[in-house]
Amino acid sequence: MNLINNLSDWYKDAIIYQVHVRSFYDSNGDGIGDFKGLMDKLPYIEFLGVNTIWLLPFYPSPLKDEGYDIADYMTVNPIYGTLNDFKKFLKEAHKRNIRVITELVINHTSSQHEWFKKSRNAKPGSPWRNFYVWSDTPDKYSEARIIFRDFETSNWTWDSTADAYYWHRFYSHQPDLNYDNPNVQKEIFKIVDFWLGMGVDGLRLDAIPYLFQREGTNCENLPETHQFLKKLNAHIQNKFKNKFLLAEANQWPEDAVKYFGDGDECQMAFHFPLMPRMYMSVQMEDRFPIIDIMEQTPTLPEPCQWAIFLRNHDELTLEMVTDEERDFMYRMYTNDPKMRINLGIRRRLAPLMSGDRRKIELLNAFLFSMPGTPVIYYGDEIGMGDNFYLGDRNGVRTPMQWSNDSNAGFSEANPQKLYLPVIIDPEYNYQAVNVKLQEGNSQSLLCWMKKLIELRSAYTAFSRGSIEFLYPNNSKVIAFYRIHNEQKILVLINLSRHTQNFNLDLSQFVNHPLIEAFGKTEFPTITENPYFFILSPYGFLWLEIGEKSKVPESLNLKDRILNIKDKWSEILSGSNRKKLEGLLLDYIPTCRWYRSKSNLISKVKIMDEILFKNHKNPIYFLLLEIDYINKHSEDYFLFLTSEVGEDFTEKAICQLIDRKGQQTFLIDALYSTNASMHLFHFFRSNKTIQGTVGSIAVNTTRYKEILNKKEDVIIKPLDKEQSNTSLLYGDTALLKMYRLSEKGINPEVEINEFLLSNNKYISPKLAVTINYINKQNISTAGIIQEYIPNEGDGWNYSLNIISNICENFKSFDLFQNKKEVVFPWIKISDPLPKKILDSLDIYAHAVKIIAQKTAQMHLALMGNASNKAFEAENYTLFDQRSLYQSLRSVIVKTSKLVSAKSLSINGEMQKKLDFFFSNKNKLFNNLEYLLSKKLGGKKIRCHGDFHLGQTLYTGDDFIIIDYEGEPCRPLSERKIKYPPLKDLASMLRSFHYAIYTVLNENMLISSSFDPEIWYSWICNIFIQTYLDYPEVRSLLPSENEFFSLLLKAYMLEKVFYEINYEINNRPDWVHVPCMGLLNLMGDNPL
């Protein structure tokens, strides 16, 4: 063998093509790919331009897990050919300067392996029994997570033959080997010697983090694993030349990098966290996810390299993202729940991009631009589709599509004999998507990919170079240099579906020319001035740096007229429909409930209309699709009716003029008393009303009697609502209509229904749910619930009481000892001084009641195993990592915002903040306890938007309301479970704002009175009262120190959110969260 690149670190320059023998080409017509078929297709792989093939397992196997359940390591599965066939293939590949890497699946075997058969029949304690991990109880290693949660309920499975449990981190038919047994390690070394000695160039180590088990750990990334890898690598380096190990370690960068050791373990490892963030960045049209994860990626030892990829044979794994990011990916890329599996998405690249050629090219260019060795999954180079209905991950493992002949040219077998059916989906049908068609079309995706591979191979800056990010003032663009020796590439990527322009400071390369890599087009020479660029939608540029050479508040009705003949409903047909959509484009941004006021609307389209009859003026329920210039579309609900009278001019969408010249106003029906009354009566019983596309379904509960009042009642709107519209029905019921249409049941419905079964907890009784149903999708459109008579919400109550206290309380000297009351507000067990309680007057009592109600709420929401949606779950290190990632993201974003804005704060605070944000890396270090200390406690369904405004004061009590969660967050994200301390942090911040609101209005902040001291005592009262409930302690970290650490983390998350919000919306208030931030961090925050 005489390969072109014979460097010991040749893998850095590799471009890997991942292939499953079974899926590539069938040479003998049995419906299954084989090595002879793979060898026949080597010319194609050579044509593509890749230089390395990665083969999935081809060993004898029951094939319950695509061959990762190995029954014999030392030969070839007969369905793929013989060992001699493999040797011939390997020899032919090397002739074509193509290297071959294979799988070393050594964490587990198949339960059909001879080793396991001997082990299960051997006596306990004997050498063969100790080949695997056995136990008399399934309770060992309880902190290890279950990876295949969709298929397995435990990591232990009972074996009746052995009369014991065996350990498996994956499927139950894949028992884990016992690496504490030296005999196991010896056998693995024999396997390595066998395949590397045959000529295999590298080995992918599957599931390598799970080799060892230790009590009290999560059984991942253990020191013993790294010791074994060092031993394995040393063995290989001493015995062979130019071989490498590739680790499959689905871990965060700081853990994955450990598999390189000091260059003495694996030479390569997959960068799992980078992959989903490429998809996130394109969908969010924001570079932040990429910048953020790359900043967290450590520098590698010299001989080492990341392996980077977009797709592979498994699901698109979402393990290395936060809960919120995972929720975002599911919402964006899985419109059918069947697309989800385990913690991932079982789809190929092209369907994930909805077949958009520009996005497919963009992601591939993105991948090839990043540091690391790129991996291409077979078929993705032609844009193959998938079939997620096949079960497991088989939908992305279908036969390669060679031509439009029978069986996609993969096999001459009867189609029913194929190991899996070919893709016949209309969009990705093999007759339209295949190699033969694309080979002959120079504009095809295949030919474009061939060119991309060719270019990538030509620039060592991509394979071996450093990366340096640039920061144009357009976050939809990601820009960076790739530099290796004298080679310098400027990479520019437009993540947006729209054309973007921006300036870049390239003055460090003044007088150098820029040459576009694909067409070699010369750009103007770089000067001292900022360089101006324009990128097309989803466009990108590889540029070689050569050697020198606003929203209206009201509408003018005069110009807003629709002409009708007789009925106002005519506006929904003919040319008037388009005119109405145009009028709604201006009207929607003026609505109080409209959430996206900062985004420009490009189009409004009426997607569905449902008529409510039996009313003097008909009412139409509309589903509106709102498209934006700079974000993804949203759907909103709108009720329409017409009314006569000048009283409606301010609320009118437009004037309606009939042929007689009579004028009426088209309005939101929820602002009409008559229309609202009709809707209320309609919603009193179970019924469904069909529309053009979907339907409205009304479902009542056992509390519907609250709607049975026969006497006339008054309906009036509540001014409180922002994102929804609420109407009070007399003094008994409240109708809340949700304006934004979101797929799924609203959390407020789920929580209220759950609380109906809890007689001890007082909350408004749910009487009616109103759902919009379109095909299989359900969106909660509204609810009717019990109205609780009250004297106002907790926010206004707090403002009134605190104001009264301030007027009556003249001596503030008792608050001068500030050091006693900084976070975490004294030791949690310390009693409160009587003079403090006296000074706070009745407000201390109110704070105690709210704390009691909070504890009762959390106990009511903790649920049990009978309801998985509400069952309390352990708060783990993985959850803490997610919180750390969220904190890190919001800190970086806030830092950039603070540095870009002039804040309305005093000089001393500005100085502290500047120091704070200029040393944010130290803050990250300060928060690393989240990564290492297991804080404990539980996570449950929380309120999600908990503040004083979400409580009602009844005169002697407080009732918690509005379990909808934060409306600005996606509905599915609001259902994620969190520690109860997230709600506590939100309420404690609300107290802070209440105090400052009163003191600012009364101008009482002075050197003689520090509101932070008062605030600290209120927090102390709240926390101590909350903790007086013994049952609630079971949900919290057991140690006071850990309680404080976790509470501090969630308060930091909240306060950074507040700083962002105030800078963008109320800059005069930014000093409040800034003060909260500084006090949380103490006198020496860093």
* SS3 call for 733: strand
Looking at 159, 248, 285, 608, which residue is catalytic?
248
Strands 938-939 and 951-953: unpaired
List the structure tokens of 181: 């047994």
* SS3 call for 67: coil
Other Cβ atoms less than 10 A from the Cβ of 436: the count is 15
Can you point out the beta strands (E) in 5-87?
Answer: 16-19, 52-55
Cα separation values, 681 from 350, 612, 673, 678, Å: 49, 11, 12, 5
List the structure tokens of 1033: 């302690």
Which residues pair with residue 958 across a beta bridge? Answer: 953
Can you point out the beta strands (E) in 742-837?
Answer: 766-774, 777-786
* φ, ψ of residue 325 in degrees (nearest 5): -70, -40
Strands 500-504 and 487-494: unpaired
248 is catalytic: yes
- Between CA 898 and CA 914 the distance in angstroms is 8
Radius of gyration of the chain (CA): 32
Give 98's DSSP letter.
-
**Residues 411, 418: contact at Cβ < 8 Å?**
yes
* SS3 call for 995: helix
Produce one character per residue of 763-790: b if its CB has 16 or more CB atoms within 10 Å, e if not.
bbbbbbbbbbbbeeebbbbbbbbbbbeb
**Residues 301, 261: contact at Cβ < 8 Å?**
yes
Burial zone of 917 (CB within 10 Å; 0-12 exposed, 13-18 middle, 19+ buried): middle
Which residues pair with residue 480 across a beta bridge? Answer: 469, 491
Strands 531-535 and 477-484: unpaired
* SS3 call for 476: coil
Nearest to 619 by CA among 691, 524, 710, 694: 691
Could you tell me where the DSSP H helices lie in 415-488? 435-439, 445-458, 460-464
Looking at 13, 66, 206, 327, which residue is catalytic?
206
- Between CA 209 and CA 147 the distance in angstroms is 12
* Sign of the four-CA dihedral 407, 410, 411, 412: positive
The position carrying tokens 């998507």 is 433
- Between CA 383 and CA 524 the distance in angstroms is 35
Nearest to 295 by CA among 879, 895, 1058: 895
- E strand or H helix at 205: strand 202-205
**Residues 482, 461: contact at Cβ < 8 Å?**
yes
List the structure tokens of 420: 């899996």
Can you point out the beta strands (E) in 652-746?
Answer: 654-657, 663-668, 687-690, 695-700, 715-717, 724-729, 733-738, 740-741
Burial zone of 396 (CB within 10 Å; 0-12 exposed, 13-18 middle, 19+ buried): buried
Polymer length of the chain: 1086
| 335-336-340-344 Cα dihedral, nearest 10 degrees | -10
26 is catalytic: no
Output the CA angle 514-519-525, nearest 5 degrees.
Answer: 15
Nearest to 36 by CA among 99, 100, 79: 79
- Between CA 112 and CA 761 the distance in angstroms is 54
**What is the set of active-site residues?**
206, 248
